[in-house]
Amino acid sequence: MDAELFEKMGIFYLGRDLEPKTLRPTKIPTLVKSKNFTTHAAVIGMTGSGKTGLGVDILEEAAIDNIPVIVIDPKGDMGDLCLTSEKLRAEDFLPWVEDEARQKGEEPLEYARKIAEMWREGIESWGQSSDRIARFKSHDATIYTPGSTAGVPVNVLGSLDAPDAATLEDPDALAQSINAVVSSLLALLGIDADPIQSREYILIAQILKRAWMAGEKVDIGTLISHIITLPFDKIGVLPLESFYPAAERFKLASSMNNLIASPSFESWLTGAPLDIDALMYDERQKAKISIFSIAHLSDEERMFFVTLLLSRIVEWMRRQSGTGRLRALLYMDEIYGYFPPSKNPPSKAPMMTLLKQARAFGVGVVLSTQNPVDLDYKGLGNIGTWFIGRLQTRQDIEKVIDGLAGKLDAELDRDEIVKTLSNLPKRTFFYKSAHEKGIRLFQTRWVLSYLKGPLKKRDIAKLTAAKKKPRTASLSHETPKSPAAQPNGKSRTPILSSDISQRFDLALSPGGLYRPHLAAAATVRYVNAARGIDESESLALCIPLDDTIDYPDWDEAEPCDKAFTQAPKKPTGDTAFAPLPGSVTQAKNFKAFQKALKDHLYTQKRLTLYRCRKLKAESKPHESLETFKNRLMEILEERLDAEKEKLQSRYAKKLQTLHERLVRAQQKLAKEQEDVGKATTGSLVDAGLAIFGALFGGKRSAASKLGQAMKGGSRVLKERADVQRAQARIDEIETQIDALKEELEEKLDELEEKYRLERYEIETFFIKPRRTDVDVEMPILYWRWEPVA
Ligand SMILES: Nc1ncnc2c1ncn2[C@@H]1O[C@H](COP(=O)(O)OP(=O)(O)OP(=O)(O)O)[C@@H](O)[C@H]1O
Ligand SMILES: [Mg+2]
């Protein structure tokens, strides 16, 4: 019952405290408030000390408390979070242990049975029910594999989207975002670029910055075409041509193009975009577990990806409102190389920003490493909680203690700590937190997930098979093929009136085909003074004109990149032209096309918004329903947390009083008993006391002293009336305690129910543009190039 109680209170169950001197286990569960993780944690210990096990413990606890987690997994161990079985049957374990069984020359199913049994025993001996496993398993865990399609691929380069407005307005933040994208992109292309000196770096950074500021969408396709036909003609004070002549830019563009066309590169462009919002909750508002497995990548690729992911998290974080609760957890298993003290790899800047600023946004970072010297010294200062496991050498121990300097209470003896740390068995951690007085030693609880060790690509592929979404194409210059318009021989550029503007894609290789499109850029403005909304949406549409079309219809249009307005005015290369419908060859029709598009947009375009009247909240323009729901949920969780906290302190006082009475009653009983020596150690509800410790920090040591004071409860010598009376008194108080806990639990349940998102109706409504607020540019004839197979 106590277990159920702390499950409801935003507390992480990490293990059991050990007696500091003897390292013998006590009954006191190691409970840590989830909130404490907002000041970040470091896990340090030698190989095999149990860091990953502790990491898995923490992440399981987070998921159970509906806190989303993002995991960066350089070694491939963290995919184990997907290996959970509620029933703990041999069949469930079989696919995970088959290989190992064969290696050991054992019969697979028999081996699976042994392992499943071991896990059952482990889990149960730590007081964990299958209910708990089920609760954890109900959270979606996904293994993302950037640069590979073994797991869920991540489209990291398909979209080089601008960060949010806040980042754009802050020059430092903007510079950091640009730096992250450009340096990692160039690294991936094998160009070793110095941000100050390299032409490539400066050019690409300029293009990105300009596009971001202009609110244009950029992907790698548009980036390549911008490198050739630049939307500006000066870099600093230098004319572009002398800074970076066109012929050489063309070389850069085609080498980039060749690279992205290579099959191995394609996986960087496949899959879901790297959108942090989408990693938070699923459609049932259940926190997700997102594991980014990068073990299969080269060092450069890992650095590229980690930097990009961290920068995206920083940008996302800045968009969130401030909070005191733990909103999300970022865990990195094995930080070695990403956050070193004396060097400056690209990943360091965003990591430092996270450690310094994430607290205000409720984003906790947990870093794990074998060696204290892998962590930047300044970064260490921002870490509030330390888990120190077995260390290899005396030197390592000294370093850790130096790192902790100033965080340890004065009364603790350095030699004593050194001695303790030198003798730690595996799965045992020394715990020091800025949120608690004193130190603790504990053994990590048995993990719910099966710790198989590093997952191979094949394992990941198997686990992911069920989840994979269909591949999505992302390059803007990919055009759906229209079967009707195959060129029969080379046709020449159609001769049209000069009143019709035409634009031509760059032909990226000799030959190929130009397909005609009617394209136009437009702006739609949505104004709603009462809501303070004045939103302009700039968009571009184009209609593929194959020869089944006589007269273009905007209902057939598809969104396209606005970059066509910058494309060259003359065709390039030795390229054929697909035929053109007659209606588009007449300049006078273009005015009608323009008007038709205006009508089309006026009737079709809406700004969709959502509202929840009960919470007096409305979505912001362009906020998705999903994101809006997540925001509502956070409001609810915030209120829920506050109410829980009130409730808890109210009950804690009452419980404390009862506990004190219990102590007195037990002491009385001990006295009444003739043979005090025979009295066994009382069954004091240590767990209950530990909960207070976790809730109210400093009370912990008092609580454990209390625990030791409890002697009594002997079953001997019941005949004496005093003894019986004393015993009855104890029973009575224990019943009261149980009743009070039950009551608290019920109240907590009621609160949960009251704040469930489903109880809050969400409506959809729209804001229409005024006709005068639909602005359409004169449509043009846009020739899209494609290679001919
Ligand atoms: N909480 C736990 N529950 C059950 N088994 C555990 C737990 N923690 C560790 N173990 C066992 O101990 C082994 C080693 O632990 P773990 O992998 O966590 O060490 P580590 O410190 O991460 O080592 P490395 O630095 O090599 O990654 C695990 O493979 C597992 O068998
Ligand atoms: Mg490990």
**What is the DSSP track for 398-424?**
HHHHHHHTTTS-TTS-HHHHHHHHHT-
pLDDT of residue 53: 97
Q: Residue 448 and residue 119: Cα distance in Å, rounded?
A: 8
pLDDT of residue 1: 41
Residue 478 predicted with pLDDT over 60: no
Ligand 2 centroid to residue 455 C-alpha, Å:
12
- Phi and psi dihedrals of 289, rounded to 5? -115, 115
Specify the higher pLDDT residue, 65 or 477: 65
CA angle 224, 229, 230 (to 5 degrees): 90
C-beta of 50 in contact with ligand 1 (< 6 A): yes
Pairing of strands 617-618, 502-504: unpaired
Tokens of 754: 């009251």
Specify the higher pLDDT residue, 187 or 719: 187
Q: Residue 695 and residue 705: Cα distance in Å, rounded?
A: 17
The full length of the chain comes to: 789
pLDDT of residue 104: 92
User: 196: buried, middle or exposed (CB in 10 Å: 19+, 13-18, 0-12)?
Assistant: exposed
Tokens of 415: 């030699």
Ligand 2 centroid to residue 368 C-alpha, Å:
8
C-beta of 344 in contact with ligand 1 (< 6 A): no
pLDDT of residue 224: 87
pLDDT, one tens digit per residue, over 628-671 is: 999 999 999 999 989 988 888 888 888 888 888 888 888 888 88
Pairing of strands 533-544, 513-528: antiparallel
Ligand 1 centroid to residue 365 C-alpha, Å:
20
pLDDT of residue 304: 85
Specify the higher pLDDT residue, 327 or 474: 327
Pairing of strands 289-293, 69-73: parallel
Tokens of 103: 């290696």
Q: What is the dihedral of CA 434, 436, 440, 443, to 10 degrees?
A: -80
Q: What is the mean pLDDT of residues 562-581?
A: 83
In sequence order, what are the residues at sequence separation of 6 or more whose Cβ sits closer than 8 angstroms to the Cβ of residue 657?
none
From 56, 123, 427, 428, the mutation candidate for ligand 1 (largest count of ligand atoms within 8 A of CB) is 427
- Written as one letter, the residue type at 178 is I
Answer whether 478's CB lies under 8 Å from 785's CB: no
Q: Residue 696 and residue 5: Cα distance in Å, rounded?
A: 15
Q: pLDDT class for 159, splitting at 50, 70, 90?
A: low
pLDDT, one tens digit per residue, over 674-729 is: 544 443 333 334 445 555 555 544 333 333 333 333 333 334 444 567 788 888 89
Ligand 1 centroid to residue 225 C-alpha, Å:
50
- Indicate which atom in ligand 1 lies nearest the CA of residue 50: 18
SS3 485: coil
- Indicate which atom in ligand 1 lies nearest the CA of residue 447: 3
Q: pLDDT class for 467, splitting at 50, 70, 90?
A: low
**Strand order across the 141-144 sheet:** 25-33, 11-18, 439-444, 428-433, 385-388, 41-44, 363-369, 328-332, 69-73, 289-293, 141-144
Ligand 2 centroid to residue 81 C-alpha, Å:
13
Tokens of 215: 């609110």
Ligand nearest to the CA of 44: 1
pLDDT of residue 660: 86
Pairing of strands 289-293, 141-144: parallel
pLDDT, one tens digit per residue, over 756-776 is: 999 999 999 999 999 999 999
- Phi and psi dihedrals of 443, rounded to 5? -105, 135
Ligand 1 centroid to residue 50 C-alpha, Å:
4
C-beta of 51 in contact with ligand 1 (< 6 A): yes
Most confident of 47-56, 194-203, 220-229, 531-540: 47-56
What does pLDDT average to over the chain?
84
Q: What is the dihedral of CA 250, 180, 78, 443, to 10 degrees?
A: 160
pLDDT of residue 410: 65
Alpha helices in 233-291 (DSSP H): 240-243, 246-261, 263-266
Candidates 549, 566, 553, 461; CA nearest to 504 is 566
Specify the higher pLDDT residue, 35 or 21: 35
pLDDT, one tens digit per residue, over 325-355 is: 999 999 999 899 999 988 888 889 899 999 9
Q: What percentage of the chain reaches a pLDDT higher than 90?
A: 42
Q: pTM for this one?
A: 0.78
Most confident of 53-62, 171-180, 747-756: 53-62
Q: How far apart are the first and last CA of the chain?
A: 68
Q: Residue 485 and residue 357: Cα distance in Å, rounded?
A: 56
Tokens of 248: 């050489």
Ligand 2 centroid to residue 96 C-alpha, Å:
18
Ligand nearest to the CA of 45: 1
CA angle 105, 108, 109 (to 5 degrees): 145
pLDDT of residue 4: 65
C-beta of 427 in contact with ligand 1 (< 6 A): yes
**What is the DSSP track for 570-611?**
S--SS-EE----GGGG-TTHHHHHHHHHHHHHHHH--EEEEE
Largest pairwise CA distance in the chain = 116
State the DSSP code for 278: G
- Indicate which atom in ligand 1 lies nearest the CA of residue 49: 21
C-beta of 53 in contact with ligand 1 (< 6 A): yes
Which residue CA neighbors atom 25 of ligand 1 most closely? 47
Answer whether 331's CB lies under 8 Å from 369's CB: no
Ligand nearest to the CA of 56: 1
In this predicted structure, which of 166-170, 202-206, 374-378, 717-721 has the lowest mean pLDDT? Answer: 717-721
Q: What is the mean pLDDT of residues 238-263?
A: 83
User: 113: buried, middle or exposed (CB in 10 Å: 19+, 13-18, 0-12)?
Assistant: middle
C-beta of 444 in contact with ligand 1 (< 6 A): yes
Answer whether 149's CB lies under 8 Å from 294's CB: no
Q: What is the mean pLDDT of residues 351-379?
A: 92
